[in-house]
Structure 1
Amino acid sequence: MLQGSLFDQAEETALGALAGVRRTVLGAGAWIDVLPGWLSGADALFEHLASGVPWKAERRQMYERVVDVPRLLKFYGAGEPLPHPVLGTARDALSAHYAEELGEPFTTAGLCFYRDGRDSVAWHGDRIGRGDREDTMVAIVSVGAPRDLLLRPLGGGAPTVRRPLGHGDLIVMGGSCQRTWEHAIPKSARATGPRISIQFRPHGVR
């Protein structure tokens, strides 16, 4: 069950100004922008998405066996209607704000539903498609209970960057981040509420 944020009691969802984003340079051409609480009314949006999105449980080959993917997923391709109007507004706002650096719009939206602390995603970069060879951006809006997003240089060996994300927070991973760094949502042994992340990407980046 989601425990709502004491700082976000708005019933209607709305976006703040992107002028407040703060950039952290990671190295090797990678950076992240973070804006806490960009989306107000995030708890209401979480409830809408949790109950209204046609979530899919996937299975993947892991060595000699097939295992359940430890989260629920839904992908919206370019031109597909999104499950809430504010997501289209967010995608357009991000495309406009990063137009000069990115040079193209965000076009797709991938949703991940982390139901509790047992759901997770292992270390990876979004390197399917152009992200494997080109600088790009992935923008993530989080609703629901905060979960730690970890970042480390590709292959590890350096201190890990940790950002707790939830309740309308925004993070944008840019530059070479998908090629030279990895990110993960680790499992949590603590009592952890559910979280949904919405990932906006340009065409050809997964």
Structure 2
Amino acid sequence: MDAGAGALQDSIAGFGDNLLPFDGELYLIRQFYAPPESDRLFAMLMTELAWQAEDIFIFGKWVKVPRQMCWYGDADAHYRYSGVDHAPLPWTAELQAIREKVERQCRQRFNSVLANLYRDGRDSMGCHADNEKELGPDPVIASLSFGDERLFRLHHKKRKKVSLDIMLGHGDLLLMAGAMQHHWLHALPKTKQLKTPRINLTFRRVVA
């Protein structure tokens, strides 16, 4: 499998058309995991992963992250962002099995996964791009969702009026690739709607 970035249309199977109009690649498979298996994995991830609260350094001060998170991966897959160095926990057997299934579908290699737990509608992810140098110039990131559906919002960095909203549901797999992280920002905004927990796994390849 090729761990590099670039145009993926000829190398991925089952994702359908690119959802971005320009400047990057974004693909979606609904119910990559069927509901019964998604239910099982959601329950397992809730109880077996080492969820923790975290502070990050942003806009000149330390702030509490509005979600819980944990980082798993190969021993050398250290990842630093917002002033925090993340040393990977060793893969669990279930995370390893999920990784292998995602790798087969995406035809990419991933050596780490960032897990986020959104406990209710008040938990969120701010507007950002996954453009840290440890991810390489054009990172390929596979994002797998379990639990309650949440809005995934994108907007173009320069063309402020160009945006895209996607509802990500139970078992959905989203693939971000090409130049997307250079040109687009993405977020999981807060909502006043009643929301039950949602888990997101973002598989990445950290490079030296």
Aligned to 1:70: 66
Q: Deviations over 1:118-141 (max 9, x none)?
A: 00011101111254x611211011
**TM-score, normalised relative to structure 1:** 0.79
Correspondence for 1:148 among 144, 148, 151: 151
CA distance in 2, matches of 1:27, 1:204: 28
| Partner secondary structure for residue 152 of structure 1 | strand
Total equivalences in the alignment = 182
SS state of the match for residue 103, structure 2?
helix
- 1:21 equivalenced with 2:21 (yes/no): no
3-state SS in 2 of match to 1:47: helix
Is the counterpart of residue 195 in structure 1 residue 198 in structure 2?
yes
Moved over 6 A (4+): none
Q: Give 5+ residue unaligned stretches, structure 2.
A: 1-11, 76-88
Percent identity, please.
Answer: 30
Task: Note if contact 1:49-1:83 (Cα within 8 Å) is conserved in structure 2.
Answer: no
RMSD: 2.3
Q: Residues 110, 62 of structure 1: CA spacing in aligned structure 2 closer, same or farther, 3 A cutoff?
A: closer
SS at match of 2:115: strand
Q: Pick the aligned partner of 2:98 from 63, 75, 90.
A: 90
Task: Give the secondary-structure state (helix, strand or coil) at the position aligned to 2:17.
Answer: strand
Query: What TM-score, normalized to structure 2?
Result: 0.78
1:128 aligns to what? 132
Q: What letter corresponds to residue 149 of structure 1 in structure 2?
A: F
- Secondary structure in 2 matching 1:23: coil
Q: Hey, which of these two has a bigger chunk of strand by percent?
A: 1
Closer/same/farther in 2, CA of residues 165 and 84 from structure 1, 3 Å limit: farther
Distance 1:156 1:146, change over 3 A: farther
Report deviation, 1:162.
Answer: 1.1
Query: What letter corresponds to residue 91 of structure 2 in structure 1?
Result: L
